[in-house]
Every structure is written in C-alpha cells, then in structure tokens.
Amino acid sequence: MMKQIIHHFNNSKNILLAAHVDPDGDSVGSLTALGLSLESLGKKITLYSESAIPAVYRFLPASDRIVRTINGLNGCDVAVILDCSNIDRVGKAASTIKQIPEIINIDHHTTNTNFGTIQLIDTWACATAEIVYRIIKNIGVRITKAIATSIYTGILTDTGSFRFSNTNESAFAICKEMVEYGVDPSYVAEHVYGPFSLGRLKLLNRALDSLEISATGKLSIMTLTRDVFEKTNTHPEDTDGFLNYARNIKDIKVAALIQHQLNGNRTEEPVSENCYHVSLRSDGTVDVAAIASAFGGGGHRNAAGFSTELTISEIKSKLLKLAETI
C-alpha cells in the first residue's frame, strides 16, 4: 500500500487533501504536514476543510491556506482523505471528491469503511499524523520545522498529551524526532492548551451543571444547547476536553456530551435546526465506537461520536437504556 501511494503521489500533478468536518488537531496537522510535503515535491496542492479551523490550530503553518469550498475538480488527479472513517466525514464536498480518479484513504479509526481506491489504515497508529509521518519518510521529503510542527501537534492532541491508551512508543519516538527538527513543545502547548476566553469557562460551568448520572452510576451525560453557546459567546470547538472531567468521575465507564450541532463558524446558519452531535468517551472497558456506530457514527474504542436528528430526550433514553448493559 505504501509503495502504491508513493507511486501515485510521484505520478500526480494536482492533489486535493481533505480533513473531516469539525477538524481536530490530528486532522489539521495531518492535512498541513502532508500538504506541505507534497508541495515540496513540486505538486499543486489544495487543502480542504468544510468547517472553519478552530482558533487553537490556526498557529499551524499553512492553516491559513485551507479552503472551505471547492468549485469542481479543478484538474485534481488524486484526493487524499485524512482521519475520516468514511468519505462523508469530509462534508458536503464528498460527492464532488468521489469523482476524483484516485482516492487515498489514510486513517486510524477502527470504524473505517475502507472507502477509496487505496487505503492506508492502521488502527494501531496513535494518530493519522503517525501514518502521514511514515509516508513522508518513505517518500524522502525533507522535514522542515513547519512539517514537524504539524506532525507533532497531530500526535500531541490525539494522544491527549500522551495520556490516552493510543499513546504508543512511536508517539514518543516521532515527537522526539520532530523536536530535533526544531519543534518547540512549549510554543505548541501554549497555542493548543493556552489562554482561553472567559466564555469558555462559563460554558464549562454550564456543561458541568447539566451533568446527569445514570441510575447504574456508570454513564454520565452533559447537554449543551444552542442558547448556551449564544449566551457565552462560544463555539462548538470550545467544548474540547470537557468530557475528560465527566469521564474521570469515579465508577463512570462512559461519558457523553450532547450538543446542538452548529457549524464551526458561528456566523453561519446551523447545519440543521434539530441536529445534535454526541461525543462519547470510555474509561477503556466499553467500546464506544460500537455504540456510536449503532447511531450511524464511528470513532475509536475509547473516543467516538455521532450526529443525529433524535431529540435530546430520545438520545438520553437510548443512552440510559444502553447504560443498563455496561
């Protein structure tokens, strides 16, 4: 697979790279790392993300070159889909992208559907950025500080700063190497985890206030509706990390956060009036990717999610029913 991918990259001229909607650090980092690498080989690149890039990742090199719309195929001969368990995760452009002759699927989700013409899926990789690193090494790109910062950020954020169960030996080995290429860990941490708005703290307050625990004591549910985001002047991306508090409560096995699905950029109309995004985290004993899949979503064993048009009370009662079996 690696050989085939390198062959396609070498023979292509015009490459579209896409991240998933509501991108996280791994998605953005993989996008900019691979994009800049392919550009250094003389390829024309388009970096695509339907959602606005969360403010905390805008320090990433080339993140200002990520476009939110594409008009037709523009002569792209290869598409690279990063960190997406299915192609529809790229958002509305999926139907256009599907027409690109070669679609390379690079991912580490257990729920990946094997879409595309070539797949490089490694569910043991700590992040998609780890797989991107291997490609870059194999293709012989010179790793610049900009590329290194992108890879480092992808691994740092997807491993929860080397705390989650996907933290493997390569997470440390690759990040060490990236530091040798000039990455400044404190600079990255300042941006990723650095100062945040008062509104975000108030949003956390509201999220914690909404916390409910199932009768079994094993499931926690937090709920954030659109009006709360409006009142605190915050964005969906501001909820990043909230679930860690709920998951760390003693005896909790699964933590859920139900939030109104809003487009990343709050100046836009909501995706749909009554669409919710549900994020799930597990303590390691429950496979939340399986739960998310049952609702049409996906993810990893310990971190997964789905979007739904069920009402809040329907979502809660389904989750509570599930809680009786965990």
Q: Which residues bind ligand 5GP (CB under 6 A)?
A: 20, 85-86, 89, 111, 279, 297-300, 303-307
**Burial class of residue 92, CB neighbours in 10 A (0-12, 13-18, 19+):** exposed
Shortest distance, position 64 Cβ to Mn ion, whole Å:
22
- Number of residues counted as binding Mn ion (CB under 5 A): 4
Give the DSSP letter string of 248-303. Answer: TSTT--EEEEEEE---SSTTSPPS-TT-EEEEEEE-SSS-HHHHHHHTT-EE-SSE
Q: Binder to Mn ion among 9, 12, 20, 26 (CB under 5 A)?
A: 26
Which tokens in the block code for residue 163? 């705390």
Shortest distance, position 126 Cβ to Mn ion, whole Å:
9
Does 50 bind Mn ion (CB under 5 A)? Our answer is no
> In whole angstroms, what is the distance from residue 236 CA to residue 163 CA?
23
Which tokens in the block code for residue 139? 């293709």
Residue 32 binds what, of ligand 5GP, Mn ion, none (CB under 5 to 8 Å, by partner type)? none
Shortest distance, position 302 Cβ to ligand 5GP, whole Å:
9
Position 236: which residue type? Answer: P
Q: Which is nearer to Mn ion, 158 or 237 (CB)?
A: 158
If we measure between CA atoms, which residue out of 134, 15, 152, 154 comes closest to residue 81?
Answer: 15
Shortest distance, position 17 Cβ to Mn ion, whole Å:
15
Q: Which is nearer to ligand 5GP, 74 or 161 (CB)?
A: 161
Does 158 bind Mn ion (CB under 5 A)? Our answer is yes
Phi and psi, residue 219, nearest 5°: -120, 135
Shortest distance, position 299 Cβ to ligand 5GP, whole Å:
3
Does 83 bind Mn ion (CB under 5 A)? Our answer is yes
Q: Which is nearer to ligand 5GP, 115 or 133 (CB)?
A: 115
Helices 128-139 and 2-11, packing angle to 10 deg: 60
* Interface positions with Mn ion (CB under 5 A): 26, 83, 128, 158
